[in-house]
């Protein structure tokens, strides 16, 4: 258990959180959420002791151990992989180092023997004899094969280093586990393994993540950082989001009878209580959910962009035909004889590890790159809007303010009032619209690109990883907007829920050919052939 008492923290004149009082209990996984800049990562640093609060304190029992997912991927470059994982248990690693140093002494004394005996006893108590095998199991589960275990960290790729540091945090069954964006740079198989690990983890977990599917799978509670306070809600992210939206609606409709609102809330809670049955905490969660009252759920201060794509022209039956597209980049064939036909109701998700291939395909379809061979043809009724993976060319060295930046892409030379209103729906209000395009943050650039696409009125949308750089609120708004879109789509995304709720067709381009199925993403992942291929990949 970790207890937070009267914790407050300010940076300059800005209050991040004030008088926070929480207990994080064993057996629960808490998803820490909040708007960008609210202080989620900072709060984790307060819990870990890296940052001292200005008031209050964080308490753990002296015999309990806390582990943190390290963010510096280059911290352990000179250490072997297996050794790096074991270093996650600081005391065990210290015992191992001191013990080995004593045994290597050329003049081994009686005092050395006494000290070695003490260390051996502590080593056994800390489960040291199982340390290497446990570390190896964690690494294998995350996709780090045995031949890499004795390599130096400096020899690993960036994605491999992330997995090793995650294994380091999980090692030794810590009493409290703090994870900041643990799914970043993980592949599907590693994420699935981590989900199962955390679902079965018996101690306390506090996690920050932009991956809604991950939060829904592993979280028993949501810790919402809002109004400078942290409020704990029973349930996963979807429960928090829908209940918060419902509370907002109720607050705005105060003229209706409270009894009717309570009935609506009760029906909503009953539906989510039934969904809790798959969790290891099913019984306790269901009881807690059933006890929730209207006063327990507060409207959020979050601001959600308004995302709505309205095609100006209805799309015809002939959308896109791709035949034999092949492309080699820097000596690597990233597309090999790719062929498919797109229908007017298709929302195609391109999944798997061939990100360069998908980006290349989208660039070819948008006329930004020529294929080595093959052809494609858009239908005469189609119009396309494109979200590139790298949008820097739209903003670098651009001194236009946001109104004038957006006016470039407005088909009817709209007035400043219209453009300001449009930007306001994308959370650029007041003087913010006078910012120069060149100084925008990653998330602000994405919202500008979405504005550009919405203005186009296109009936075919191409998105190459649009959720990157977005906060949970913007991801949710974009997700909801695209679920309602009446045109056709081709897209890539690392967001499981985004793909699952939008795609009705899945394409994966593999070294052994192309897989093309009319199915949802979850059904695709459950397919026996896909599971077999993933197993072979990690064998």
Residue 167 is predicted with a pLDDT of: 96
Higher per-residue pLDDT: 537 or 249: 249
Give, in order, the Cα–Cα distances in Å from 204 to each of 30, 62, 63, 179, 288: 8, 16, 15, 11, 18
Backbone angles phi, psi at 375, to 5 degrees: -150, 165
- Is residue 306 pLDDT above 50, yes or no? yes
Nearest to 383 by CA among 325, 331, 455, 334: 455
Residue 186 is predicted with a pLDDT of: 87
CB 261, CB 60: distance < 8 Å: no
Q: What's the pTM?
A: 0.82
Residue 299 is predicted with a pLDDT of: 61
What confidence tier does 188 reach under pLDDT thresholds 50, 70, 90?
confident
Backbone angles phi, psi at 293, to 5 degrees: -115, 175
- Is residue 457 pLDDT above 90, yes or no? yes
Collapsing DSSP to helix, strand or coil, 41 comes out as helix
Average pLDDT over residues 79-88: 96
Integer Cα distance of 109 and 254 in angstroms: 81
- Is residue 283 pLDDT above 60, yes or no? no
Higher per-residue pLDDT: 178 or 238: 178
* Maximum pairwise Cα distance, the chain: 90
How open is the CA angle 436-440-445, to the nearest 5 degrees? 115
DSSP alpha helix (H) spans, 319-415: 355-365, 402-407
What confidence tier does 106 reach under pLDDT thresholds 50, 70, 90?
confident
Average pLDDT, the chain: 88
């Amino acid at each position: 258990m970790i207890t937070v008492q009267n914790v407050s923290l300010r940076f300059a004149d800005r209050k991040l959180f004030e008088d926070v009082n929480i207990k994080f209990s064993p057996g629960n996984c808490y998803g820490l959420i909040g708007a960008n800049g609210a202080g989620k990562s900072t709060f984790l640093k307060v819990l870990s002791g890296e940052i001292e609060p200005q008031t209050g304190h964080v308490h753990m029992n002296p015999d309990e151990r806390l582990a943190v997912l390290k963010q510096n991927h280059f911290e352990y470059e000179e250490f072997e992989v297996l050794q790096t994982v074991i270093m996650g248990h600081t005391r065990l690693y210290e015992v191992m180092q001191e013990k080995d140093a004593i045994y290597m002494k050329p003049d081994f004394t009686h005092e050395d023997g006494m000290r070695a005996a003490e260390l051996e006893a502590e080593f056994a108590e800390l489960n040291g004899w199982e340390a290497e095998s446990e570390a190896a199991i964690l690494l294998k589960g995350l996709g780090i094969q045995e031949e890499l275990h004795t390599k130096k960290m400096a020899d690993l790729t960036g994605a491999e280093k992330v997995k090793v540091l995650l294994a380091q945090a999980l090692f030794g069954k810590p009493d409290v586990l703090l994870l900041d964006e643990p799914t970043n740079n993980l592949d599907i198989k590693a994420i699935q393994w981590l989900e199962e690990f955390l679902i079965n983890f018996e101690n306390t977990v506090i996690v920050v993540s932009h991956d809604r599917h991950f939060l829904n799978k592993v979280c028993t509670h949501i810790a919402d950082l809002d109004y400078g306070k942290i409020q704990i809600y029973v349930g996963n992210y979807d429960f928090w989001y829908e209940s918060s939206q419902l509370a907002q609606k109720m607050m705005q409709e105060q003229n209706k009878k409270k009894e009717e609102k309570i009935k609506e809330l009760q029906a909503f809670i009953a539906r989510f209580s039934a969904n809790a049955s798959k969790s290891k905490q099913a019984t306790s969660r269901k009881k807690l959910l059933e006890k929730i009252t209207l006063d327990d759920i507060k409207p959020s201060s979050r601001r959600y962009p308004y995302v709505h794509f309205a095609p100006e022209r209805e799309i015809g039956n002939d959308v896109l035909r791709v035949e034999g597209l092949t492309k080699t980049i820097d000596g690597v064939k990233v597309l090999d004889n790719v062929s498919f036909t797109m229908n007017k109701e298709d929302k195609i998700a391109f999944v798997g590890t061939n990100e360069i291939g998908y980006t290349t395909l989208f660039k070819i379809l948008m006329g930004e790159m020529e294929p080595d061979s093959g052809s494609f043809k858009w239908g005469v009724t189609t119009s396309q809007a494109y979200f590139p993976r790298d949008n820097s060319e739209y903003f670098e060295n651009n001194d236009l303010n946001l109104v004038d930046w957006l006016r470039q892409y407005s088909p009817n030379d709209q007035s400043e009032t219209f453009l300001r209103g449009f930007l306001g729906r994308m959370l650029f209000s007041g003087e913010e619209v006078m910012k120069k395009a060149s100084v925008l943050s990653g998330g602000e650039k994405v919202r500008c690109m979405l504005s550009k696409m919405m203005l186009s009125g296109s009936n075919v949308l191409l998105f190459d990883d649009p959720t990157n750089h977005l906060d949970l609120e913007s991801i949710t708004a974009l997700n909801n907007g695209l679920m309602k879109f009446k045109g056709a789509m081709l897209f890539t995304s690392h967001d499981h829920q985004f793909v699952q709720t939008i795609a009705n067709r899945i394409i994966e381009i593999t070294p052994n050919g192309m897989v093309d199925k009319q199915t949802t993403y979850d059904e695709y992942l459950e397919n026996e052939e896909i599971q077999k291929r993933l197993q072979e990949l990690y064998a």
